Amino acid sequence: MTQGKVCVMNKTTKSMQEGASPPSYEEATTAESSPCYSGGYYGDGEMLTQWGWHDQNIRRIFIRKVYAILMTQLLITLAIVALFTFCDPVKIYIQANPGWYWASYAVFFITYLTLSCCAGTRRRFPWNLILLAVFTLSVSYITGMLSSFYDTKSVMICLGITAMVCLSVTTFSFQTKIDITSCQGVLFVLCMTMFFCGIMLCIVLPFGYVPLLHAIYAVLGATLFTMFLAFDMQLLMGNKRYTISPEEYIFATLNIYLDIVYLFTFLLQIFGSHD
């Protein structure tokens, strides 16, 4: 084991001296590569992944790539929400044809499961970007249709609140010494609370609408996804207890994008007023 790690460290040092780029995750762990990167010794693959994370250039490139894709997704979603909110003919059409909503929801569910569960698919270019684009369009349609049932001013106010919350959480996540990635227990408790509140809403709703219960559910949802946003931001940074691999830029973008969209929809339920 020691000889293998010395071999890896020697080759890594030599590559850095020669100005060569660091090995990718696949090169570091595949069995077909050179013996020094074969992963045949316990802990070699983990060490190489950590070595890659300690390289500041790799981390900066990874974060830039995630934010570039995320900004594109959010601009597309904002454009569709604005179209469905401000254009009355479009608003009337989508509200009169709920079938498109359910079709978009099915596409969202399938693409989300594919990108979340199939590591090979979300790492294979260009299929990962194609699936992410389809996923973004489906989520944007769902969000736009939900927004069309609310007053225009309410939608604009909630968009502004979402932007301010995202900016504050991002700043907090990058500056704080608190390790939010180690707080999975708190997130799990909040998820279970939301789950049982959702069940209660499903039971009570047929007998009559309860504004207080729905408001509690919306506040819990906004709180939960604000915490998830901070959690995913710190996973992206990679300097806390848990990190996300630089190879998983699609997965990182997917999580942060969904956190922001869900936060916006819950804020709509709290502050929005129906037309």
Q: What is the pLDDT of residues 86-136, one digit of tens each?
A: 888 888 989 888 889 999 999 999 999 998 888 888 888 888 899 999 999
Q: Is the confidence at residue 18, as pLDDT, over 70?
A: no
Residues 88 and 99 in one domain: yes
Q: Are residues 217 and 127 in the same domain?
A: yes
Query: Do 64 and 39 fall into the same domain?
Result: no
- 229 pLDDT exceeds 60? yes
Q: Are residues 184 and 202 in the same domain?
A: yes
Quick one: 40 and 137 in the same domain? no
Please check whether residues 79 and 199 belong to one and the same domain. yes
| Of 26, 53, 80, the domain-final residue | 53
Question: Could you say which of 23, 38, 53 is where a domain stops?
Answer: 53
Same domain, yes or no: 230 and 129: yes
Tokens of 227: 């915490």
pLDDT at 76 over 80: yes
Domain end call among 13, 29, 53: 53
Give the structural domain span for 252. 55-271
Q: Are residues 198 and 267 in the same domain?
A: yes
3-state secondary structure of 151: coil
- pLDDT for the residue numbered 27: 46
Does residue 67 sit in the same domain as residue 45?
no
Total structural domains in the chain? 2
CA 109, CA 13: separation in Å to the nearest integer? 45
Q: What is the pLDDT of residue 30?
A: 45
Nearest-angstrom CA–CA distance, 53 and 23: 12
Task: Say if residue 26 is in the same domain as residue 102.
Answer: no
Tokens 């045949």, residue located: 40
Residue of 8, 13, 42 lying closest to 27 (CA atoms): 8
Amino acid at 137: L
Residue 34 shares a structural domain with residue 60: no
Query: 76 and 23 share a domain?
Result: no
| pTM of the entire predicted model | 0.75
